[in-house]
Amino acid sequence: MKVDPATLPWRDAYKLLIGSVLPRPIAFVSTVDLQGHSNLAPFSFFSGICAKPMMVCFAPMIRGSDGKKKDTLANIEATKQFVINIVGERIAAQMNDCAIEFPPEVDEFTYTGLTKAPSHSVLPPRVQESDVQLECTLHQIVTLGELPGAGSLVIGRVVCVHVRDELFEGGKINSELLRPIGRMAGQTYTRAVSDTFDLERK
Ligand SMILES: Cc1cc2nc3c(=O)[nH]c(=O)nc-3n(C[C@H](O)[C@H](O)[C@H](O)COP(=O)(O)O)c2cc1C
């Protein structure tokens, strides 16, 4: 079967994309607005880009319900700062709850009971219960359209990395302890370390 995605309604194109690119890691992004309200939301169009400079990216789409930009993007445009909290299984349920479309003034930390930890170099707080947190300053936003189905690529420079001491072994993060999860299509998640295999390179 061959599909030209440009001919599909955006929701069908979205289903095709999220069913093809998976499992996806999850950036649990904390931001603040100019009044200081905190915001927390998950984004699985997320990737690392390079190590030095350490750069990461994620992509908030335009909201399907009202055609507006998501609070996370509006806050980053205003403050140029964000934190990516890595999602392990322990905080999966709270992360999932933060995908609810709350009005901008709702603080998802309060809603979920997650704890704000002050950041070192940026204003948005970190999620204390997350085992790895990346403090980022905005490098660039690439806008790829303004209608539902479109989105923006947010590229950030990581200016400070926090790793829970117990997970950091010889300069590496122990993924068995991190227990990262990935997002599949729909409402399904996967445990990343339960079924791994190694391939040697010659
Ligand atoms: C696991 C997961 C991954 C998500 N990934 C994305 C994504 O990559 N891009 C996006 O626009 N929305 C994504 N969402 C939906 C947003 O989290 C949701 O729209 C949220 O309300 C945005 O919050 P905000 O308006 O406070 O930024 C995801 C939701 C979940 C549960």
- Which one of 37, 38, 70 would you pick to mutate in the ligand 1 pocket, going by the greatest count of ligand atoms within 8 A of its CB? 70
Does ligand 1 come within 6 angstroms of the Cβ of 144?
no
User: Which pLDDT value is given to residue 48?
Assistant: 98
**CATH code (residue 91):** 2.30.110.10
User: Which pLDDT value is given to residue 194?
Assistant: 86
Residue 4 lies in a domain: no
Give the integer Cα–Cα distance in Å for 191 and 174.
15
Mean per-residue pLDDT of the chain: 96
User: Which pLDDT value is given to residue 138?
Assistant: 98
Pairing of strands 181-183, 172-173: unpaired
Does ligand 1 come within 6 angstroms of the Cβ of 30?
no
Give the integer Cα–Cα distance in Å for 38 and 28.
13
Give distance in angstroms: CA of 60 to centre of ligand 1.
Answer: 7
Residue 3 lies in a domain: no
Residue 114 lies in a domain: yes
> CA of 6: how far to CAs of 14, 67, 151, 171, 200, in Å?
11, 19, 15, 45, 40
- Concatenated DSSP letters for 23-60? SB--EEEEEE-TT--EEEEEE-SEEEEEETTEEEEE-P
Residue 151, domain extent: 25-183
* Domain total of the chain: 1
Residue 92 lies in a domain: yes
> pLDDT tens digits, residue range 102-128?
988 889 999 999 999 999 999 999 999
User: Across residues 131-143, what is the average pLDDT?
Assistant: 98
Give the integer Cα–Cα distance in Å for 3 and 122.
43
> pLDDT tens digits, residue range 145-171?
999 999 999 999 999 999 999 999 999
User: Which pLDDT value is given to residue 70?
Assistant: 97
User: Across residues 164-193, what is the average pLDDT?
Assistant: 96
Residue 146 lies in a domain: yes
Residue 18 lies in a domain: no
Residue having the nearest C-alpha atom to atom 23 of ligand 1: 41
> What does the block give as tokens for 183?
């997002």
* Residue type present at position 152: S
User: Which pLDDT value is given to residue 16?
Assistant: 97
* Residue type present at position 85: N
Residue 82 lies in a domain: yes
Residue 87 lies in a domain: yes
User: Which pLDDT value is given to residue 130?
Assistant: 98
91 and 127 Cβ atoms separated by less than 8 Å: yes
- Residues listed for the chain: 202
> pLDDT tens digits, residue range 29-59?
999 999 999 999 999 999 999 999 999 999 9
User: Which pLDDT value is given to residue 66?
Assistant: 93
63 and 70 Cβ atoms separated by less than 8 Å: yes
3-state secondary structure of 125: coil
Residue having the nearest C-alpha atom to atom 19 of ligand 1: 99
> pLDDT tens digits, residue range 52-107?
999 999 999 999 999 999 999 999 999 999 999 999 999 999 999 999 999 888 89
